[in-house]
Structure 1
């Protein structure tokens, strides 16, 4: 029997209890359903534990792969720097091979020194980003302050031990 069916059966027992005085039948049906529910709940717990284990494994695998990616990117950067250094030392501004062309290109990038303070820059060069301070809002609401559109909502969650 599926969990959804067990819920429907419990509802049927409730309705039956409203219409009849046959307590023995109601008790028997209730006990059978309760046993089914316990078996299903235990099965769900096992599945949840497996899913948590899978999630934990994937989290660690993501971390491992991110570290591997970073290592590969660093190796590629070092190899490119080595080739660049070699071409500069030999004095070759452009190298054409059968498969690729290597050359030096110039580009411009903005560099702002650490000593530059935001207060010293004109306003048109400052970008301000606003975001909600949820922690401060929660503390204010809990302290009794009323803020339009802000409420604390209680959520019910299922805990399994």
Structure 2
């Protein structure tokens, strides 16, 4: 069976020689190619739907696994805090066993900002302006001409 590309090409070729064919032959040929194109399009749509279903299943599974990962990470954090608190209560900073050496140590210093407005501007990083495409699109829709931008209308396939 021919591919969709081949069928489309055949359709175009028949249209190019349309004046050389009698009307009944032209109609029958175009109808036959059209029916084949419809079948191919339907089968292609089935494949698309199947892949979209796979994507939805994977998206759900990724979300479920991310939630599980977050729960496990939170459990690890709470258990570590519990162990540290209990060791500090009894004054232990190190525990050695056959399998583990558990120790409490100082972390590197970190900065905690209490009020960002009080920090001198020298400590801020300048940032490039960011293009507001929504505002730009709204202005273009209203008919404003803006050099360097244009409103573009694209087309896409919908399967219902």
What TM-score do you get using the length of structure 1 for normalisation? 0.88
Deviations 1:101-138 (A, max 9, x none): 2212212111112xx143x3211122344322111111
The offset of 1:5, in angstroms, is: 0.7
Deviations 1:17-64 (A, max 9, x none): 14x042222222111111101111111221222122111111211111
1:122 aligns with 2:123: no
SS of alignment partner, residue 60 of structure 1: helix
Q: Secondary structure at the match of 1:44?
A: helix
Instruction: Tell me the secondary structure at the aligned position of residue 95 of structure 1.
Output: strand
- 4+ residue stretches of structure 1 with deviation over 4 A? none
Aligned residue number for residue 105 of structure 1: 105
Looking at structure 2, the residues matched to 25 and 160 of structure 1 have their Cα atoms a distance apart, in angstroms, of: 32
Q: Gaps (5+ residues) in structure 2? A: none
Deviation at 1:152, TM superposition (A): 1.4
**Distance (Å, rounded) in 1 between the aligned partners of 2:74 and 2:66:** 12
Question: Between Structure 1 and Structure 2, how many residues are aligned?
Answer: 157
| Alignment pair present for 1:15 and 2:13 | no
Deviates most, 43-52 or 1-10: 43-52
CA RMSD of aligned residues (A): 1.7
- Segments of 5+ residues of structure 1 without an aligned counterpart are none
Matches within 5 A, 1:141-156: 141-156=140-155
- Measured in 2, the distance between the counterparts of 1:127 and 1:37 equals 58
Give the TM-score, by structure 2 length.
0.88
1:30 matched to which residue of 2? 30
Deviation, 1:155, is 0.6
